[in-house]
Amino acid sequence: MNWQKITSVEDLAKINQLSNEQKILIFKHSTRCSISATALGRLERNWQDEQAKDIIPYYLDLLSYKALSNQIADYYGVIHESPQVLLIDGGKCVYNTSHLDINFSDIVKEALALG
């Protein structure tokens, strides 16, 4: 799994642009939370590049970039949670879930349903 890091507002603009061509997965991670570490580890262990070939994974350390985390929540109209994944397509959040509901197979199903 090759995470792209979100560290700036420019990264968010890039995500929105790329989401017109590919689906983007944003993983908002709290580095001090055991549930977040569990969800991240489970996602990474189950990630299969072949099944997720049309998804670019992005990672946000929300403790280091809390303002960006809040911008993501505001822009995509989702309630901030941690850990949380958002699937972005065409500049919109088309799927989000949090905590131990984060599941690779569900993310892939949602992405495939979008075409």
**Residues 6 or more apart from 29 whose CB is under 8 A from it?**
36, 40, 59, 60, 61, 62, 82, 83
Cis omega (within 30 of 0) for bond into 83: yes
The terminus-to-terminus CA distance of the chain in angstroms comes to 22
8 A C-beta contact, residue 114 and residue 95: no
Give the CATH number of the domain where residue 30 resides: 3.40.30.10
- What pLDDT tens digit does each residue of the chain (115 aa) get? 899 999 999 999 999 999 999 999 999 999 999 999 999 999 999 999 999 999 999 999 999 999 999 999 999 999 999 999 999 999 999 999 999 999 999 999 999 998 7
Domain span holding position 84: 4-114
Provide the pLDDT for residue 1.
80
Q: What pTM did the predictor assign?
A: 0.96
Provide the pLDDT for residue 18.
97
Q: At what angle do helices 66-76 and 9-18 cross, to 10 degrees?
A: 40
Provide the pLDDT for residue 115.
77
Domain count, the chain: 1
Provide the pLDDT for residue 96.
97
